[in-house]
Amino acid sequence: MGRKSGTKTTLFFLLISLISLLAFAPVFAPLPSFSSHYSLSPRHRHHHHRKVVTSTVAVKPRSFEIDDDKFWKDGEFFRIIGGDLHYFRVLPQYWEDRLVRAKALGLNTIQTYVPWNLHEPQPGKLVFEGIADLVSFLKLCHKLDILVMLRPGPYICGEWDLGGFPAWLLAIEPPLKLRSSDPAYLRLVDNWWGILLPKVAPFLYNNGGPIIMVQIENEFGSYGDDKAYLHHLVKLAQGHLGDGIILYTTDGGSRENLEKGTIRGDAVFSTVDFTTGDDPWPIFKLQKEFNAPGKSPPLSSEFYTGWLTHWGEKNAKTGADFTASALEKILSQNGSAVLYMVHGGTNFGFYNGANTGVDESDYKPDITSYDYDAPISESGDVENAKFNALRRVIELHTAASLPSVPSDNGKMGYGPIQLQKTAFLFDLLDNINPADVVESENPLSMESVGQMFGFLLYVSEYAPKDDKSVLLIPEVHDRAQVFTLCHSEDNSRRPTRVGSIDRLSSKKLGLPNAKCASNISLFVLVENQGHVNYGPYMFDKKGILSSVFLDGSILHGWKMIPIPFHNLNEVPKINLIIEAAHSRFITVSTQRELKDKSVCLYFQGMFLKYQHSSLAISLSRMQTRFMILSYHSVVGVKGLQLLMILT
């Protein structure tokens, strides 16, 4: 009994001692990190003489900094070998597949834009689900140990409709001065970033996430010279993200672009882009002039692996060895680079942008594909010369061994496409909603009637005459198909196509003679082929933007009916504004549900449909435009849904 009593007394005093020790011991709460090891870098030992406190628990401070003209991640030298991969150009079920392939190329960082128009398609209507689920994309990058350079705009360019701006900005009166310190414009930017930036703040690197830098605007030096605007964006970003975040700008590698497009000093980190093949080091030397001393690690934030393609052009191609050799010149001297693009993806729906040439009339819409001749192709293929050449270069300048390269996903061909007539445009009559119809004495722009993408049907009428009439539309963006209809003709069930007018060529069109007992209805179906996303002509409204002249006189009295094609699984709700007494509609075909996994084609006012569980399409006519609206699959391209516009 005595022995047991002594043991209890000893345990009691040991317990008291342990409690006392814990009460005064420091509490360690390690921050989440990508690595479980910590070593103090020579930089920290030499420059900052930081006191190292040893303990039984290894704590790694989480930081991403710029010093000594180098990047420092968690106190150790770090080189960015990154690539642009835009979450909104890849379906969510393929995000991980594409990111894994980017890691196999040797990349440690992904750069992505955030398009305002995708997330706020209508004022106050916010979308952060599906392909717009930015938060899930950031979480996936973190899971895969990939850092992120975020480009939240508000302007992104990116060959994306209106450079990422919502087209409804163009409908605001008085007109906004986009990309400027215009107070009305800044209020909208403040509101948008007030929604967006708090969503991404938890994903900053110092907060345990993957985001190491956030871009301010994009290539502003190629557009304007408004320092008050840039300073406003810096203050706004810091207000939401904190002073510790690295903010950066990207500008073309010339003195003029940098003078106009960035802020000297340490408010932002000024990066450059330039033509692939240019000698990078004189440009990096120029870059240093616009950064504070010691704050200019050489970084090409857009190293072009390929180029964009406009409608009617051959697909842009860049040589594999040429591209790899240009990258070697940067990496061989400890420079950093972000491949633009590592994987281009697809401009789904009507989100493709457009460029202009020497003037506004030299309009060049971008194609639906954003393959960009990137090392990871639009379909995710990596078994190609460019991927292999770039990987060999990156592997030479990476200490750790690269992950193995996944095989290309399997593909199948499904034979000829059989098309089925679904409906004529002018036969569609489904739940007429008078609120969809806008009436005006003169034509209004698409944006003014709430139509941001797709088609807008303009309807008016004129008195018949014996001689041929001449229709003139001085300004139409971008392409108009013209139809006429005489209501008094017994066999006239649908309008007759007369021809087309577009912004690139003829503005006049002869209307045929018509012996008609009543007024003739005029239908002008205008297609928006993509808002201009770059250059001085970005204020690119769509639709009929001028008066319409018939035989030299202005034609008044217009009705406008939106045809957005947001979802081809839903029959468009269209009121053709043909007087009920004169209307002749076929409604049987419009009652059929447009099912998933279908292809709908619009051809001279007629809709065709192809339906298959899987689909592979080869187009031989470059003048055939098509918009990929959606597709759904676990493996391969299945359930592809297209809108084709044959001309």
Looking at the annotation, which residues are catalytic?
A: 219, 302
Provide the token pair at 116: 């305002």
Regarding beta strands 558-563 and 598-603, do their DSSP bridges make them parallel or antiparallel, or are they unpaired? unpaired
Provide the token pair at 600: 């709908």
3-class state of residue 445 by DSSP? strand
Provide the token pair at 407: 């095989």
Residue 524 to residue 460: CA distance in whole angstroms: 9
Residue 254 to residue 596: CA distance in whole angstroms: 50
DSSP element (H, E) containing 238? helix 227-241
Triad 111, 116, 121: Cα angle to 5°: 140
Distances (CA, A) of 571 to 564, 592, 595, 605: 11, 9, 10, 15
Cβ-Cβ contacts under 8 Å for 42 (sequence gap 6 or more): none
DSSP element (H, E) containing 341? strand 336-343
Q: b/e per residue, 510-530, with b = 16+ CB within 10 A?
A: ebeebebeeebbbbbbbbbbb
Neighbours of 313 (CB within 10 A): 13
| Side-chain half-sphere CA neighbours of 415 within 13 A | 5
Q: b/e per residue, 123-151, with b = 16+ CB within 10 A?
A: eeeeeeeebbbbeebbebbbeeebbbbbb
Residue 529 to residue 539: CA distance in whole angstroms: 15
Cβ-Cβ contacts under 8 Å for 637 (sequence gap 6 or more): 379, 411, 614, 615, 616, 631
Distances (CA, A) of 568 to 248, 256, 461, 573: 40, 46, 30, 11
Distances (CA, A) of 1 to 9, 11, 13: 13, 16, 19
Kindly tell me the burial class for residue 633, based on how many C-beta atoms sit within 10 Å of its own C-beta (0-12, 13-18, 19 or more). middle
DSSP element (H, E) containing 459? strand 455-462
Provide the token pair at 528: 């928006």
Q: Is-cis flag, bond preceding 154, omega within 30?
A: yes
Provide the token pair at 150: 């975020």
Residue 81 to residue 345: CA distance in whole angstroms: 20
